[in-house]
Amino acid sequence: MNKTNVFLLSYIGVIVCLCVFITGYILVFYPIKYKDEITSASTEFNIAPNLIASMINAESNFNPYAVSSAGAVGLMQLLPTTAQEMALKLNLQNYSEQDLTTPNINIRLGTYYISTLIKLFEDLDTAICAYNAGPNKVKSWLQNPEYSNNQKTLITTPYPATNFYLSKIKHKMNIYSNFF
């Protein structure tokens, strides 16, 4: 075998190893579970599926039994009161709080909720902030020139966690756009 062939085989070996590493990295840090449920709810409410996958990754890392210190439950970390409100609006018969750990129900309710926030605020970034901090907080921030220069979109928030959440969701959306 001549030097050119050895070099090419070595080069191909390095490329293959990098591809395996990158694929492994993506699967560990950006899992994709419940793809059918995400796609179904996204289609029903006209929401980008990569947004929903990103939110699930950030909120629960795809753990349907996750519960936050604030009492938010399931894949999309919905507060039981918010979930109940969404279930009523969707006319879900026999809905109960235990349903929040059922992936298709949690994803459907969470997707509907973010869709209502997008309609309310007419801006995706502002809606994502509202999902994290609550719509009433966001409404008050929009009235403050320190956080909004047009009373429609946020330039920042007083909550570092919400600012980080928004940047994290946007980053994850870029990754998950490759899955849908």
How many Cα neighbours within 13 Å face the side chain of 76?
Answer: 28
Locate tokens 């330039």: which residue?
155
**46 burial via Cβ count (<10 Å: 0-12, 13-18, 19+):** exposed
Q: How far apart are CA 107 and CA 103, in angstroms?
A: 6
Give the chain's end-to-end CA distance (angstroms, integer).
Answer: 44
What SS3 class is residue 58? helix
What's the 3-state SS for 79-136? CHHHHHHHHHHCCCCCCCHHHHHCHHHHHHHHHHHHHHHHHHHCCHHHHHHHHHHCHH
- Of 37, 44, 59, 122, the catalytic one is 59
Active site residue 44: no
* Phi, psi for residue 177 in degrees, rounded to 5: -65, -20
Q: Which residues are catalytic?
A: 59
